[in-house]
């Protein structure tokens, strides 16, 4: 018996190299020696642990991505991307596969939530001015992540091969096809032909399950790496702290001094030691609790509400109105006002470009890491106008457009289309 206990102990010790980390030294070692944990610094600023600092939105986005990856792999075991099979496979998930519908629901609801949460995370970063130097490039990576998230959702939307999917893809491919000069070519590559059919389905599938997740994974690694190397989350006074020491040039301190700090090395830029605390257990426990809350929430939603599945895709029956998924309805609304290229391609592209430029134009450090700092009133007003217009267009497209894209108030009866 004693021998078996010893063997179990050796096995345990070979995997986990430390006893319960109850000293600061062990708490550091447990982070640096664990492949999953070492993305974290050994110590973090106490101030950045407060929930209201970030509302956990970046982490929630990441957790949804994990849930999507796991449920997505499970769905791949049943789903065959063929126009004659795809729809029936979706129906079978409900009636034939144990827990199939829950898995599909978790995948669908997490995807919708991820689009919304990533957008909210971007708003949080803006309103706390956390995109400023040295985090400019991470903001740009973030925008790319937002675009990839949207593309992942869209390519997934086509896969069930129901009416929603088919007509959403038709609308989006028309908008893409309106691009200047090479619109037709882009549309052709996107659809694998000139119509939404088998080629479009397999292309969406490959993009959805291989290409886009790989790009997202790579961008996420860079995103997290940069958070670490940029000195953790943006904090008020971090630039001023960097200026305190005097010896090294301020620029060097910003890029190296703060980095050393979060790696747990000797504080050298005027930071009081009690401003920091160990990642184990203070940050890790918060991350774990948030993860559990997200999983429970997504599971709860998936038990209560089924993801929609309409009739099988039918090119002969055009729904009126045919709508894109909700996150593209703002663009569809814009397109209904004028030329598809200027409204559907040019304006959104310029919008994304302007978003990416923000940190390169706003070079100040006053108010960094503070919610809605008074010195940034103009910035905040301009950004809020952008958010209101963007969300407003989606609301109009979703709730106020009836047959033939007729405008109506949500509380009025659904227009008849005559």
Footprint of ligand HEM (CB under 6 A): 54, 56-59, 61-62, 65, 118, 121-122, 125, 130-131, 135, 138-139, 142-143, 145-146, 149, 220, 223, 227, 233-234
Between 336 and 364, name the residue whose CB sits nearer to ligand HEM.
Answer: 364
What minimum distance in Å lies between the beta carbon of 376 and ligand HEM? 15
C-alpha to C-alpha distances, 192 to 24, 164, 195, 198, 317, nearest whole angstrom = 58, 20, 8, 9, 22
Pick 65 or 327: Cβ nearer ligand HEM: 65
- Cβ at position 405, least distance to ligand HEM in Å: 30
Least distance from ligand HEM to the Cβ atom of residue 114, Å: 7
**Quick one: 187 or 235, whose CB is closer to ligand HEM?**
235
Least spacing, CB of residue 209 vs ligand HEM, in Å: 17
CB of 179 or CB of 368, closer to ligand HEM: 368
Which CB atom, from 93 or from 227, has the smaller least distance to ligand HEM? 227
User: Which CB atom, from 253 or from 312, has the smaller least distance to ligand HEM?
Assistant: 253
By beta-carbon proximity to ligand HEM, the closer residue of 189 and 210 is 210
Select 82 or 226, whichever has its Cβ closest to ligand HEM.
226
Report in angstroms the alpha-carbon separations of 347 from 119, 176, 235, 320.
18, 13, 34, 26
3-state secondary structure the chain: CHHHHHHHHHHHHHHCCCCCCCCHHHHHHHHHCCCCCCCCCCEEEHHHHCHHHHCCHHHHHHHHHHHHHHHHHHHHCCCCCCCCCHHHHHHHHHHCCCCHHHHHHHHHHHHHHHHHHHHHHHHHHHHCCCCCCCCHHHHHHHHHHHHHHHHHHHHHHHCCCEHHHHHHHHHHHHHHHCCCCCHHHHHHHHHCCCCCCHHHHHHHHHHHHHHHHHHHHHHHHHHHHHHHHCCCCCCCCHHHHHHCCCCCCHHHHHHHHHHHHHCCCCCCCCCCHHHEEEHHHHHHHHHHHHHHHHHHHHHHHHHHCCCCCCCECCCCCCCCCCCCCHHHHHHHHHHCCCCHHHHHHHHHHHHHHHHHHHHHHCCCCCCCCCCCCHHHHHHHHHHHHHHHHHHHHHHHHHHCECHHHCECCCCCCCCCCC
Shortest gap between Cβ of 283 and ligand HEM (angstroms)?
11
- Helix axis angle, 279-304 to 100-127, nearest 10°: 130
Question: Which residues contact residue 50 at a Cβ distance below 8 angstroms, ignoring those fewer than 6 apart?
Answer: none
Work out how close the CB of 345 gets to ligand HEM at its nearest, in angstroms, rounded to a whole number.
21
Tell me how far, at minimum, the Cβ of 204 lies from ligand HEM, in Å. 20
When the beta carbons of 175 and 212 are compared against ligand HEM, the nearer one is: 212
The least CB distance from residue 143 to ligand HEM, in Å, is 4
**The tokens of 177 are what?**
């096809």
- The residue among 62 and 190 lying less far from ligand HEM, judged by its C-beta, is 62
Residue nearest to ligand HEM (CB): 142
Query: In whole angstroms, what is the distance from residue 43 CA to residue 210 CA?
Result: 35
Query: Measured from the CB of residue 243, what is the shortest distance to ligand HEM in angstroms?
Result: 19
Q: How far is the CB of 208 from ligand HEM (least distance, A)?
A: 15
Q: In the complex with ligand HEM, which residue's Cβ is closer, 122 or 331?
A: 122
C-beta of 179: minimal distance to ligand HEM in Å? 24
């Amino acid at each position: 018996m004693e021998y078996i206990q010893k063997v179990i102990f050796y096995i345990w010790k070979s995997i986990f190299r430390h006893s319960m980390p109850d000293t600061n030294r062990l708490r550091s070692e447990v982070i640096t020696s664990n492949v999953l944990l070492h993305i974290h610094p050994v110590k973090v600023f106490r101030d950045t642990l407060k929930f209201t600092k970030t509302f956990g939105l970046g982490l929630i986005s990441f957790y949804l991505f994990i849930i999507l990856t796991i449920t997505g792999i499970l769905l791949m075991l049943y789903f065959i991307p063929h126009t004659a099979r795809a729809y029936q496979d979706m129906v079978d998930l409900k009636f034939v596969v144990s827990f199939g519908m829950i898995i599909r629901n978790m995948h669908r609801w997490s995807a919708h939530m991820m689009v919304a949460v990533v957008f909210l995370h971007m708003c949080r970063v803006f309103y706390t001015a956390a995109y400023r130097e040295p985090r400019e490039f991470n903001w740009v990576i973030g925008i790319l992540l937002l675009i990839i998230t949207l593309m992942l959702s869209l390519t997934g939307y086509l896969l069930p091969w129901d009416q929603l999917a088919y007509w959403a893809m038709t609308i989006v491919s028309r908008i893409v096809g309106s691009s200047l000069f090479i619109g037709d070519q882009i549309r052709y590559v996107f659809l694998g032909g000139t119509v939404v059919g088998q080629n479009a389905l397999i292309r969406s599938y490959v993009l959805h399950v291989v290409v886009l997740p790989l790009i997202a994974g790579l961008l996420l690694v860079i995103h997290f790496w940069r958070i670490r190397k940029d000195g953790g989350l943006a904090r008020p006074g971090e630039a001023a702290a960097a200026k305190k020491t005097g010896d090294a040039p301020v620029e060097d301190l910003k890029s190296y001094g703060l980095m050393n700090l979060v790696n747990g090395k000797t504080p050298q830029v005027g930071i009081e030691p009690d401003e920091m605390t160990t990642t184990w257990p203070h940050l890790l426990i918060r991350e774990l609790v948030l993860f559990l809350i997200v999983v429970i929430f997504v599971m709860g939603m998936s038990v209560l509400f089924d993801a929609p599945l309409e009739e099988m895709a039918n090119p002969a029956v055009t729904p009126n109105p045919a709508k894109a998924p909700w996150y593209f309805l703002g663009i569809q609304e814009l397109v209904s006002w004028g030329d598809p290229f200027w409204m559907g391609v040019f304006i959104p592209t310029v919008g994304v470009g302007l978003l990416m430029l923000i940190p390169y134009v706003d070079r100040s450090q006053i108010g960094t890491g503070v919610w809605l700092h008074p010195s940034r009133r103009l910035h905040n007003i301009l950004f809020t106008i952008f958010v209101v217009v963007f969300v407003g267009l989606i609301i109009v497209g979703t709730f106020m457009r009836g047959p033939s894209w007729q405008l109506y108030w949500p509380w009025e009866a659904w227009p008849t289309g005559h």
